[in-house]
Amino acid sequence: MTLPTGFTSSVGAALPLHAVRKADFAAWCQAQPAPVQAWLAAQRFDGAAGSACSWPDADGRVAGAVLGVDDLHDPFAWAHAPRALPAGDWRMAAELDGGARRALQLGWGLGLYRFARYKAQPAPAAQLAADGFDAETFDLLAACVRVRDLVNTPTEHMGPDELEAAARAIAQAHGATVAVIAGDDLLARNYPAIHAVGRASHRAPRIVELGWGDASHPHVVICGKGVCFDTGGLDLKAAAGMRNMKKDMGGAAHALALAELVMARKLPLRITLLVAAVENAVGPNAFRPGEVIATRKGVSVEIDNTDAEGRLVLCDALTRACELAPDLLLDFATLTGAARVALGPDLPALYANDEALAHDWLAAGQQVRDPLWRMPLWRPYLRYLTSGIADLANSSNTTMAGSVTAALYLERFVDEGVRWGHVDVYAWNDGDRPGKPAGGEAQGLRAAYALLKARADA
């Protein structure tokens, strides 16, 4: 197994690394040699979560270090380590249980991440050494990095063409098939909503469909919103709201990474990945407020707001997904600012039309420390999507329940009897924190993988 940057299998000269909870620090410290106790006291180290302290030997060289770690099974509890420790190879001084060891390895990798496409990055000074590494953990790390890299890449290098290329590369690596419908062929093949949103851009809109797995296995369809840049359309966003809209393909990034992870781990599932890739641009043929557009399902939609475009591309993708009669349908989308108002930037909103699915996904998130929060499909709010001239409006003139109404819009395109889960995700860190550098972020991805793994193993 090829190790990622920041890891080494050479443990011979590795320095001892301790981990301690603040509540246990006093007892742990008393068991250390007197010089170490004196040094830690001088540094006022108390084992607080997210802290680190190293100490010297008699010759002034680094001899060891201790980390303050609150939850040993939370990867982000370890993520400060690689940038807080002095240069060198480090190994855990005490044996960790399997969950803590995997959390350490994942947290170490997430803590080292920096987007390096346009700016040279120094080699990591601290490396984690171990006798053995967990291959699944490194696949999870690669999936998180995949999301971050895709979201962080500026739109001139991450448009619909590049999203398609990413899907093709993943498919080639894992023996999957890919079919793409683009440009005016979307109209001929009955994807009118995707076409309407993307037609004003010089880069053709498209739907990318990837297939993998044994037909005898449970069929999971994963959909992703791939709006590679969102100006808001003719309902133009303000500059502050448009600044980070390269991230509006974050749902597609999550869907791609999840499909890749399932394939890499060879889960006994059949996977179909659907990515609706567009740029919501302003131009002479941009779709307009007040227009009525067609959808693949045959539901007519009045455009209340051209900035509510993600649900338009997703509704055609969800219709296609239901035509495949999946056992499970999941979608990811950076769909609404309202979800962030309700839950903040770190907690994705989960909607589901199946109680068992919602329960299992939330439980998986808690288990792997990748939480989500369930929001209600409160169907009385469908009244906010009433149109006087079409079957449905794509938005409403109220600021209330924005994330709920967006999810209700999507549910209108999910066939009865299809178990469906939708994640309204931010896919972004607004500032730097250990293991969570500013920029693109994977949220709910590890929980989704744990959900699918548990169902595949059942």
Active-site positions? Answer: 237, 311
- Where does 43-134 have alpha helices with state H? 75-78, 81-84, 98-112
What distance lies between CA 312 and its chain's CA centroid?
21
Distance (Å, whole) CA 59 – CA 406: 64
CA proximity to 326, closest of 215, 408, 445: 215
CA proximity to 247, closest of 325, 148, 346, 166: 148
Distance (Å, whole) CA 175 – CA 156: 29
Beta bridge partners of 178: 210
Distance (Å, whole) CA 276 – CA 295: 13
Q: Is 39:171 a contact under the CB 8 Å cutoff?
A: no
The separation between the first and the last C-alpha atoms of the chain, rounded to the nearest angstrom, is 28
Transcribe 115-133 into DSSP letters.
--SSS--PPPSEEEE-S--
Distance (Å, whole) CA 434 – CA 49: 11
The residue behind tokens 């999936």 is 143
CA proximity to 448, closest of 437, 456, 439, 440: 456
CA proximity to 69, closest of 34, 94, 89, 36: 94
Q: Using CB atoms within 10 Å of the CB of residue 17, give its burial: 0 to 12 exposed, 13 to 18 middle, 19+ buried.
A: buried
Joined tokens for residue 369: 């420390």
DSSP3 helix / strand / coil % (the chain, rounded to 5): 40, 20, 40
Transcribe 3-15 into DSSP letters.
PPTTEES--TTPE
Distance (Å, whole) CA 147 – CA 256: 8
Q: Using CB atoms within 10 Å of the CB of residue 266, give its burial: 0 to 12 exposed, 13 to 18 middle, 19+ buried.
A: exposed
Joined tokens for residue 163: 């999203």
Q: Is 88:63 a contact under the CB 8 Å cutoff?
A: no
Q: Is 200:286 a contact under the CB 8 Å cutoff?
A: yes
